[in-house]
């Protein structure tokens, strides 16, 4: 079975540019999570969706960050304008939320470098 698919794997761009990260969750999963990983702050939850609806976006650092989930098989995380401090590895994860103990399955991440 295909896992969580993220694209691009690597992104290098100039400060001020718009960055769009993409995620395809595992088919049938109804929860989707965006995380940011840095050495200083570890793994931080940015936002998560349940059935395509944003449930908690309290981890989104600033208005420059936005996330959408237009359908069950696709989500985007956008940064506009980007800044050097946004450099990090961004992970998408999905799970089947049934009220039970379903694990989150992570993609391999997008390594973002803002110059």
The residues of the shown chain that bind another protein, judged by CB under 8 A, are 4, 31, 33, 42-43, 45, 48, 50, 55-56, 91, 93, 95, 97, 99, 101-109
Please report, to the nearest 10 degrees, the dihedral formed by the alpha carbons of residues 10, 31, 75, 26 taken in order: 70
Alpha-carbon separation of residue 104 from 4, 35, 46, 47 (angstroms): 10, 12, 15, 14
Query: Shortest approach of another protein to residue 110 CB, angstroms?
Result: 11
Nearer to another protein, 16 or 61 (CB): 61
Query: Shortest approach of another protein to residue 87 CB, angstroms?
Result: 16
């Amino acid at each position: 079975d295909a896992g969580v698919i993220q694209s691009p794997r690597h992104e290098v761009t100039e400060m001020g540019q718009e960055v769009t990260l993409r995620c395809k969750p595992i088919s049938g999963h109804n929860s989707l999570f965006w995380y940011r990983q840095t050495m200083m702050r570890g793994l931080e939850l940015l936002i998560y969706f349940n059935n395509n609806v944003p449930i908690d976006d309290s981890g989104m650092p600033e208005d420059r960050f936005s996330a959408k989930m237009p359908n069950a098989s696709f989500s985007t995380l956008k940064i506009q304008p980007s800044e050097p401090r946004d450099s990090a590895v961004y992970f998408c994860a999905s799970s089947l939320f049934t009220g039970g103990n379903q694990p989150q399955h992570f993609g391999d991440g997008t390594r973002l470098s803002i110059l």
